[in-house]
């Protein structure tokens, strides 16, 4: 296990699991001085070496009860939603790793989608108001 704030966590067997194209790692929460810290198993840093750099800051976005998204980017690029970016990255990786899951739309599905958006105009430069949720 690797530790945050320079503390070494007790050694134990890594419990890495594969969740449909993504990897999951175990860890624990603890105390580091006056702050709380996450201790994450060393296998995580081997699988994602960009997180292993010393003294690197991370950004944590809460995306639901008991769920967080951790990224190295301290500030997301202006206008980009980190959750949407994570979803698109996951989707791209899953499409590469599992091409057998991709299927074409049926004629019925394509027609239903055309009917759904009939008469809707979209502009690339249109700004979506903050009070709109998806």
The model's pLDDT over 95-122, given as tens digits with 9 standing for 90+, comes to: 888 899 899 999 999 999 999 999 988 8
pLDDT at 111: 95
DSSP, residue by residue, 20-40: TTEEE--EEEEEETTEEEEEE
77 vs 72: which has the higher pLDDT: 72
Residues 41 and 14: their CA atoms lie apart, in Å, by: 6
Quick: pLDDT tens for 20-46. 456 788 889 898 888 888 888 988 888
Q: pTM value? A: 0.43
pLDDT at 4 over 60: no
Q: Which pLDDT band holds residue 13 (cuts at 50, 70, 90)? A: very low
Residue ranges per domain, the chain?
Answer: 1-56, 75-117
Residues 15 and 131: their CA atoms lie apart, in Å, by: 41
Looking only at the bridges linking them, the beta strands covering 35-40 and 59-64 are: unpaired
pLDDT at 65 over 80: yes
User: Which has the closest alpha carbon to 23: 82, 81, 97, 83?
Assistant: 97
Residues 44 and 16: their CA atoms lie apart, in Å, by: 8
Residue 9 burial (CB < 10 Å; 0-12/13-18/19+)? middle
20 vs 73: which has the higher pLDDT: 73
């Amino acid at each position: 296990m690797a530790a945050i704030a320079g503390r070494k966590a007790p050694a134990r067997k890594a419990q890495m699991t594969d969740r449909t194209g993504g990897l999951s790692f175990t860890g624990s929460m603890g105390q580091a001085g006056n702050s709380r810290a996450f201790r994450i198993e060393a296998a995580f840093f081997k699988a994602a070496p960009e997180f292993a750099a010393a003294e690197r800051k991370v950004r944590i976005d809460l995306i639901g009860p008991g769920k967080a998204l951790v990224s190295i980017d301290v500030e997301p690029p202006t206008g980009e939603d980190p959750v949407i970016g994570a979803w698109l990255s996951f989707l791209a990786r899953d499409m590469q790793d599992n091409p057998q899951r991709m299927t074409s739309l049926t004629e019925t599905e394509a027609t239903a989608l055309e009917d759904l958006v009939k008469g809707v105009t979209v502009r690339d430069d249109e700004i979506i108001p903050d009070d709109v949720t998806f």
